[in-house]
Amino acid sequence: MSLKDILDVSTDNSLSGQKWHMLRQSIVKRLLSYGNATIAELGSELQSSVPTVTKAVNELLLEGYVVDMGKITNSGGRRPSLYSINPTCAYFLGIEVGRSNMSIGLQNIKNEFVSIELGTSFVLENTQESLLELCSLINSFIEDSSVNKKMIVGACINLSGRINSMEGFSYNFFFSENQPLSEIISEQLGIPVRLENDTRAMAFGEYREGIVDEEQDVIYVNYGWGVAIGIITNGQLYYGKSGYSGEFGHSNIFDNGLLCQCGKIGCLETEISGWALVNQFKEAIAAGRHSQVVLDEDSNDLQHHAIIMGALNLEDSLCVDLISKQSEKMGRYLSMILNIFNPELLVVGGDFSLLGGYVLLPIQSALKKYSLGLVNRDVKLKKSNLGHRAGVIGACCVVKERMLSTLINN
């Protein structure tokens, strides 16, 4: 039986059957929400007798929903057992879909990966064939994981661009007016599916399992091929009215006449992004600058990786110079974000975060120069410690929180 079975409506319509089912539900919900507990603690919190709770817990143990964690120490007398949710009673699937690859992972209810694949080859195109290939790869991963699909509570799929998570629509890839993309993919996979913006999922992954400590107001910067931010306020993801918050890279900043990939002129991304870095590198070479790095013209989506690696591994002067200038600009315009949101923590993630001080030091210097002194004093600047795992970890965290909160609050 899966976790959803115990949290669903009882099939026993008798009054005693309904009351018993509600007690079992309450025990599971308590363990899910607040962690391990003893029989005495469950009885006190649920206002039920110890013998009754013991009987219910024993049933849940037998059915595999609950596990005995062993005896705990106390000041005297019999040592009570500590009970926990069985980590194998529910699984959560997270998928990060990039431009030229995808990452996918399956976590149990204890946030432990039972299977994960990073950087699987996949070319994201806005076609039906690309969508079917994506679904096929996900189904193959589930089959190879040896986890029964019925035990997977749900999946979260991260895509770039405009995502309406509440309604399940993606407006940049696989858009259909007739049916939400989440429903289309759910039909292909046979499990509930939620869509999420990639940067927002990364931010939540960092908040739940990454560099964030106790900070509740966090800005996460996804500095890669494009640029976007994820916003966490009071420990909750901020979506905006329809879920389109965080499109920092498409703010009209520069009077440079350059066309952005969104179709507008002068966006921040036209000078600060991975694809802008590629253009700047090519212009510098054409103007007579020299570099040890040679770009692969057949791999447009990976060209900025070559420049980043050139700075990191070769200390190539042109690569370092271009990245430093971009990062200083990034810090200047992030100062506006600090002045508006006054966060506790600013996390730099994405491809550029691999560069560490090459990116963080120019950003930090610009933040001090351009943000308000009192605001800058409040914020800590850190590099993501999840790296390329941030998206798939965030997806698992999102689907766990959203789908379990729905089940628990029913």
State the pLDDT confidence band at 218, using cuts at 50, 70 and 90: very high
| Cβ-Cβ contacts under 8 Å for 146 (sequence gap 6 or more) | none
| Cα–Cα distance measured from residue 115 to residue 112, given in angstroms and rounded to the nearest whole number | 9
Q: Tell me: pLDDT of 301 over 90.
A: no
Amino acid in the structure at residue 187: E
Contact 44, 51 (CB under 8 A): no
Fold match between domain 3-87 and domain 90-202+391-409:
no
Strand locations in 192-324, DSSP E? 193-197, 218-223, 227-233, 236-237
Could you report the per-residue pLDDT of 114-173, keeping only the tens digit for each?
999 999 999 999 999 999 999 999 999 999 998 999 899 899 999 998 899 989 999 989
- Plot region of 108 (φ>0 → left; ψ -120 to 50 → alpha; else → beta): beta
Q: How high is the mean pLDDT of the chain?
A: 92
Tens digits of residue pLDDT in 178-200:
899 999 999 999 999 999 999 99
pLDDT-wise least confident of 31-35, 169-173, 277-281, 402-406? 402-406
Which residue ranges make up each domain of the chain? 3-87, 90-202+391-409, 213-384
Question: Is pLDDT above 80 for 252?
Answer: yes
H or E element in which residue 390 lies: helix 390-409
Q: Are 218 and 343 in contact (CB under 8 A)?
A: yes
**74: pLDDT confidence band, cut at 50, 70 and 90?**
low
Render pLDDT for 26-49 as a digit per residue (tens, 0 to 9).
Answer: 998 888 878 899 999 999 999 999
Question: pLDDT at residue 410 above 70?
Answer: no
87-99: average pLDDT: 92
Assign domain 3-87 to a CATH class. mainly alpha
Give the residue ranges of DSSP H helices in 14-92.
Answer: 15-34, 39-46, 50-63
pLDDT of residue 402: 82
CATH topology of domain 90-202+391-409: Nucleotidyltransferase; domain 5 (3.30.420)
Name the E strands within 101-186.
Answer: 101-108, 113-121, 152-159, 163-164, 169-170
Question: What pTM, to 2 d.p., does this model score?
Answer: 0.88
What does the pLDDT read at residue 243? 85
pLDDT of residue 5: 77
Class of domain 213-384: alpha beta
